[in-house]
Amino acid sequence: MTRFKARYKVIIGIFLLIAIVFLSKLFYIQVVNDDYKFSANNNVLRYDVQQAVRGLIYDRDSNLIVANVPAYDLMIVPRELKNKKIDTLKFCRLVEIKQEKFIDLYNKAVNYSAYKESVFIKHLSKENASTLGEHLYEFPGFYLRKITMREYPSNSATHLIGYLGEVNSNTTSKDPFYTKGDLNGVSGVEAAYEENLRGTKGMSIKLVDVHNKDQGKFQEGKFDTLPISGSTLTTTINIELQKYGERLMQKKIGAVVAIEPSTGEILSLISAPTYNPNLLIGRKRSENYKALANDKRKPLFNRAIQGTYPPGSIFKLINGLIALQKGTITKDSKFSCNGHYGYSYTKDKHVGCHPHRTPLNLINGIEISCNAYFCGLYNKYFTNFNSTIQAYNHWNRQVASFGIGDYMNNDFITGSPGKLPKSAYFERLYNGSWNANTIISMAIGQGELLLTPIQMANITAILANRGFYYTPHIVKKISGQEAIDTNFTRKKFCAIEPKNFTPIIEGMRQAVEGVNGTAKKAKIPEIEICGKTGTAQNPHGEDHSIFIAFAPIINPKIAIAVYVENGGWGATWAVPIASLMIEKYLKGTITDINQETFILEGNLISEE
């Protein structure tokens, strides 16, 4: 019996010990440890995501071009609204929506999640939010989230800066940073540098009562995290030049791209027609976007980087360089012109040309822009090879070294590589029977060849630099980073030796300064400009007006390409637009007021 009594005491002791452990743990959970309090209180806590302030954007001279202003999003947690009666008529009146809209927004929020917060109405003004805030206790499940909204002080550079749009489900599933209702960059700098600009979100945990009234921070903000603002970007553009160029391109369709040759920095990038960037912010953003998207003139389309066009006669410069490099011609080589270049006995097989003296050397051929000269040059170049395919492949590689047919890896997320066909394309098209004359339109920048305006500007920078370039880019500096992407600071070379640029550049100089030059309207006192006109044939209407130029001839500061759709001769519209922009950038003033007035008042857009 004594033995059993001893065992009984041991068992009782074990049970007492277990009871003491459990009671101690219960006391620790309920009284001592805050973590369990935190968990138990979840049903009266509200987790407010603190949106980071988006980074500011400046031009190259520290002028603010993208700012932020305070605004509010009206948030909803459907679970908190369920089975509770609210005055929907009053609610709709306060937020200025119809009841049908309320039902639609509520259903969308429920479909997203009954438990997670989502945006009910975006971008309430400060005044609207203040009025609503006084009555918000009447509407459980709703609360205001303070945000910042973009503002564009200059009202310009729309295609370059880009715009913000609401993230889609694909984005939220791939990147946990975003939740429904968030905005991110859709185009331009806003999209390309989204991760730099967006910053880091914070979290504020608040106590709320049964009436949804804010009772202050949970545990004095012990668990809160502060948002971190996005990086500040300094762009390469000159906002005054950008605004001036946009004025010149009013009531016209086309593009202008200006580059600093010594760095590849984009000074201005204009796509016309454009629109006020402030249209795509605030509560009317969707309505305005729909109107812009339906506009037949396509103001949302960035012609500067996405538009593909025949380069016309400006491409004669590339063919001249390739022929010099191969030794097909020298600067003194002459070709005759009898008003056309004929390549068959039938009259329809010829390339026309305008009246001028003949024969011409290379420099004069550029000055006067003789079609026959460059057709003859192109045909002669092909004779230096054993076969048409060998000749074309060599020519294709030389052309590609100028960044043609390539995206060039600039810092825009969209763009077009243009079109530079491979020899296989012509092999299929002509069943293996073709030669230089079959594709003679390529000699003068027509046919299958297509370039974007930014590629044309980059070609101009290569000419200005006598053979090299830096990838055109739009951001100069990012706060918190010592340097930008090395892709934009590494010098790249085309396939042409520097010595071969000398006669080409002299021809460009004569095009502006010469008696018979096609670009005489570009002449500016005290600034020596080198340029080349182009007129691209357009089967759908008036020809396109084209001009590329750089200035000054020594240590060039600006290289520019202007493309005006349906503008006719290059000298009519593109030349004066480029000249005015060059003078504005280099001198700050305009000499020929009459020419400026002609361009500013010019209207090339049909009112139909």
Cα gap 325→277, rounded to integer Å: 46
What residues have CB less than 8 Å from 516, skipping those under 6 apart? 356, 364, 367, 368
Range in 44-58, 159-173, 471-485 with the lowest mean pLDDT: 44-58
- Specify the number of domains making up the chain: 2
Residue 370 has pLDDT above 70, yes or no: yes
Which tokens is 461 given? 């920078």
Q: What whole-number percentage of the chain has pLDDT above 90?
A: 58
**Domain containing 369 — which CATH number?**
3.40.710.10
Q: Does one domain contain both 218 and 115?
A: yes
Q: Examine residue 533 and state whether it is found in any structural domain, yes or no.
A: yes
Q: Does one domain contain both 402 and 512?
A: yes
Residue 155 and residue 278 in contact, taking contact as beta carbons nearer than 8 Å: yes
R_g over Cα of the chain:
33
Residue 562 has pLDDT above 50, yes or no: yes
Q: Does one domain contain both 313 and 189?
A: no
Cα gap 476→484, rounded to integer Å: 7
What domain range is 461 assigned to?
Answer: 304-565
Q: Does one domain contain both 317 and 170?
A: no
Instruction: Look up residue 557 and give its amino acid.
Output: K
| Most confident by average pLDDT, 277-291, 340-354, 496-510, 536-550 | 496-510
In the chain, how long is the greatest CA-to-CA distance?
Answer: 137
Q: What is the dihedral of CA 586, 498, 321, 580, to 10 degrees?
A: 0
**Domain containing 193 — which CATH number?**
3.90.1310.10
Q: Does one domain contain both 81 and 214?
A: yes
Tell me the β-bridge partners of 549: 531, 560
- Give the three-class secondary structure for 35: helix
With 0-12 / 13-18 / 19 or more C-beta atoms within 10 angstroms meaning exposed / middle / buried, residue 559 is buried
What sign does the dihedral 242-248-253-257 (CA atoms) show? negative
Region 505-514 average pLDDT = 96
User: Tokens 């009053």 identify what position?
Assistant: 90
Q: Does one domain contain both 193 and 320?
A: no
Which tokens is 420 given? 């530079």
pLDDT single digits (tens) 398-422? 999 999 998 877 888 889 999 999 9
Strand intervals (E) in 300-454:
340-342, 350-352
Residue 207 and residue 224 in contact, taking contact as beta carbons nearer than 8 Å: no
Q: Examine residue 449 and state whether it is found in any structural domain, yes or no.
A: yes
Q: Examine residue 384 and state whether it is found in any structural domain, yes or no.
A: yes
Q: Examine residue 173 and state whether it is found in any structural domain, yes or no.
A: yes
CA angle 386, 388, 391 (to 5 degrees): 75
Q: Examine residue 532 and state whether it is found in any structural domain, yes or no.
A: yes
Cα gap 304→282, rounded to integer Å: 27
Q: Does one domain contain both 420 and 503?
A: yes
Q: Does one domain contain both 172 and 311?
A: no
Cα gap 595→608, rounded to integer Å: 27
Average pLDDT value over all residues in the chain = 88
Which tokens is 27 given? 């006391």
Where do the H-state alpha helices sit in 67-157?
Answer: 78-81, 88-95, 99-112, 126-133
Question: Minimal CA–CA distance to 272: which of 262, 257, 282, 289?
Answer: 257
Please spell the DSSP secondary structure of 470-528, one letter per residue. Answer: ---BSEEEETT-SS--GGGTS-EE-SS-GGGHHHHHHHHHHHHHSTT-TTGGG-BTTB-
Which tokens is 550 given? 């750089």
Residue 346 has pLDDT above 50, yes or no: no
pLDDT single digits (tens) 11-60? 676 767 776 766 666 565 555 555 545 554 555 677 777 888 999 999 99
Report CA-CA distances (Å) from 314 to 319, 375, 534: 10, 14, 5
Question: Minimal CA–CA distance to 259: which of 471, 404, 546, 415?
Answer: 471
Q: Does one domain contain both 84 and 223?
A: yes
pLDDT band at 225 (very low <50, low <70, confident <90, very high): confident
Q: Examine residue 275 and state whether it is found in any structural domain, yes or no.
A: no
Residue 253 and residue 605 in contact, taking contact as beta carbons nearer than 8 Å: yes
pLDDT band at 458 (very low <50, low <70, confident <90, very high): very high
Q: Examine residue 345 and state whether it is found in any structural domain, yes or no.
A: yes
Cα gap 456→256, rounded to integer Å: 10
Q: Does one domain contain both 225 and 311?
A: no
| Most confident by average pLDDT, 80-94, 328-342, 499-513, 567-581 | 499-513
Q: Does one domain contain both 197 and 317?
A: no
Q: What whole-number percentage of the chain has pLDDT above 70?
A: 90
The continuous run of DSSP H or E covering 256 comes out as: strand 254-260
pLDDT band at 340 (very low <50, low <70, confident <90, very high): confident
Q: Does one domain contain both 505 and 379?
A: yes
Residue 128 has pLDDT above 50, yes or no: yes
Last residue of a domain, one of 174, 208, 235: 235
Cα gap 457→562, rounded to integer Å: 8
Q: Examine residue 428 and state whether it is found in any structural domain, yes or no.
A: yes
Chain centroid to CA 287: how far? Answer: 22
pLDDT band at 607 (very low <50, low <70, confident <90, very high): low
Report CA-CA distances (Å) from 414 to 409, 417, 434: 10, 10, 35
Please spell the DSSP secondary structure of 388-410, one letter per residue. Answer: HHHHHHHHHHHHHTTTTTS-TT-
User: Tokens 């020596």 identify what position?
Assistant: 528
The reported pLDDT for the residue numbered 543 is 86
Cα gap 240→588, rounded to integer Å: 10
pLDDT band at 345 (very low <50, low <70, confident <90, very high): very low
Residue 100 has pLDDT above 70, yes or no: yes
